[in-house]
Amino acid sequence: MRNDLKFRHYTDRAVTLAVDLVNTRQAVTGEEELGHEEALASFAAAHGLAGEPSSAAELADVRVLRDRLRDVFGACGEKEAAGLINSLLEDVGAAPRVVAHDGSPTHFHFEPAGSGIVRRLGTTAVMGLAVVLCNYGSKRLGLCASPMCRSAFVDASKNARKRYCSETCATRENVAAYRARLRQAR
């Protein structure tokens, strides 16, 4: 994220988790990063949510959560995004609490203590997106405009007009458009 949008400690982690979770399944090819329980456990540990080993049922629930989070990134406006987030908050059972651990400053956690992996991933990701929506608007949440990609991203640019998830996708699409114009001109 750029420094233009300053998220807090919890929000940075939560927003990154939401984007990374949505992008564990490539929208165009269907390539799956969460193919088995060990992959889910590794994903959670990489995002600071280590816990007990994951079950097949939890993996299935996380995949459903992931699809619902993707819908938030693709929402058409504030009202739709808010409705999706509110539904997710209710379903994951967000219960705010203040904690200080591991040398971190005092911050919020939104899952009840002792929650399983689905609830920890869900509450963290959904609250991150809720903060972005409330503080910066739905225009900051997006899906890559490249038909070859469609990855989720959070737009931290100054003008909130980002269309692509990365410079790679933007360059690829701009080059393709340029080449198409050259072909037409011939």
Q: Distances from the Cα of 177 to the Cαs of 29, 86, 170, 181, 186, in angstroms?
A: 22, 39, 11, 6, 15
Note the pTM of the prediction, 2 decimals.
0.86
Q: What is the pLDDT of residues 108-143, one digit of tens each?
A: 778 777 788 899 899 999 999 999 999 999 999 999
Q: Is 129 helix (H, G, I), strand (E, B) or coil?
A: helix
Range with lowest mean pLDDT among 10-14, 35-39, 124-128: 10-14
Residue 56 has pLDDT above 80, yes or no: yes
Indicate the average pLDDT of the chain.
89
Cα distance between the two ends of the chain:
42
170: its two tokens: 């933007």
Q: What is the pLDDT of residues 135-170, one digit of tens each?
A: 999 999 999 999 999 999 999 888 889 999 999 999
Q: How many residues does the chain have?
A: 186
Q: Which residues have a Cβ under 8 Å from the Cβ of 24 and sit 6 or more positions away?
A: 32, 33, 34, 43, 66
Q: Is 39 helix (H, G, I), strand (E, B) or coil?
A: helix
